[in-house]
Structure 1
């Protein structure tokens, strides 16, 4: 594998670990929220508590990934990508980062407006932000949180379809850019 940042075809192993960990947690967290909405009483509250804790974990990991990215440039997009594909890829990644930060922060703000702290898997409690209470605004932010959470899931689907297209139709090994194995075009 070539180490020069301008000639690399794959992401670094650390970037791969961030990517796949965050990806799994986002899908898990979406399922937790869906299950919490269908559960009743204490079971629903427990699922939602886990959803909130995983949201904070996703926020921390996303910030870590961004910090890592500052010192470790990503490999350039393959030259076989059409201009529209490059625009879609870059735009999708920017929206991913915005949502992966805004969704947990928005939920923390909404919890704070509702006067609720966030339990982090029983290890510690994240207190409400010092912003006062406004239950109406809290509900509105949670509604936006749900809407933008679904947008994130649709974006995940688009991202997966793009990776599969590049891997199996274009045969350029697109998915292997984010895996430590497999053949990537240009290697």
Structure 2
């Protein structure tokens, strides 16, 4: 991943970041709502959760392609341990943003179901054969991964706030088209 001397991420990178962030939070809330809904409502909520998961997958793959082909701002003035933590967190984010939707699709496939993406297209079930027990196990891992993702988002937000308000290096504003980034 190339870096550059720019103070901010590109507008396209910012758009990917915020759209995916909002989609992940909405999808987490959908999963939470489905867990507390009645049987009839649960299926409809989970259908939206699965569809949005596939949208997140597509956006994340596009964002990753963008990141590999466009330089990102250097992490100047940041301690080595913070740089390592930031890079590690970003790698884990990408693994989860790609792995969680694929895991959800795989879990559905074990129940013999594809994923309808808001009526626009349907991903067919993966060719794994029906195995509800495997599907349940995958969905349990998927739920655990979703919880880890929420904690990771919290860590990411805390890091941005620390850099912005304690270190005063403009942390959050690197991913926003406004605000001051010292340089």
Equivalent residue for 1:22?
A: 20
Matches of 1:123 and 1:10, distance apart in 2: 35
**What's the TM-score, normalizing by structure 1?**
0.94
Q: Which one of 32, 35, 39 corresponds to residue 34 of structure 1?
A: 32
Q: What is aligned with 1:101?
A: 98
2:20 aligned with 1:7, yes or no? Answer: no
Distance 1:168 1:46 in 2: 42
- In 1, distance between residues paired with 2:80 and 2:120? 47
Q: Which runs of 4+ in 1 moved over 3 A?
A: none
By how many angstroms is 1:6 displaced? 2.2
- Give the match's secondary structure for 2:74: coil
- Report the 3-state secondary structure (helix = DSSP H, G, I; strand = E; otherwise coil) of the residue aligned with 1:59: helix
Q: Does 1:70 align with 2:59?
A: no
How far residue 51 of structure 1 moved from its aligned partner, in angstroms, is: 0.3
Count residues in correspondence: 182
Aligned residue for 1:120?
117
Once the two structures are superposed, residues 122-160 of structure 1 have per-residue CA deviations (whole angstroms, 9 ceiling, x without a partner) of 222221011211111110010000001100000000000
Partner deviation per Cα, 1:64-110 (whole Å, 9 max, x = no partner): 0011112102111122x111111110000000000000000011111
What is the TM-score with the length of structure 2 in the denominator?
0.96
Local SS of the residue matching 1:43: helix
- Structure 1: 5+ residue stretches without partners: none
Match of 2:180 among 161, 180, 183: 183
Unaligned runs of at least 5 residues, structure 2: none
Residue 16 of structure 1 and its aligned partner are, at CA, apart by 0.3
* Corresponding residue of 2:44: 46
Backbone CA RMSD of aligned residues: 1.2
1:149 corresponds in structure 2 to 146
Partners of 2:24 and 2:18 lie apart in 1 by: 10
Q: How far 1:19 moved relative to its partner? A: 0.3
Q: 2:53 aligns with which of 52, 55, 74?
A: 55
Partner SS state of residue 133, structure 1: coil
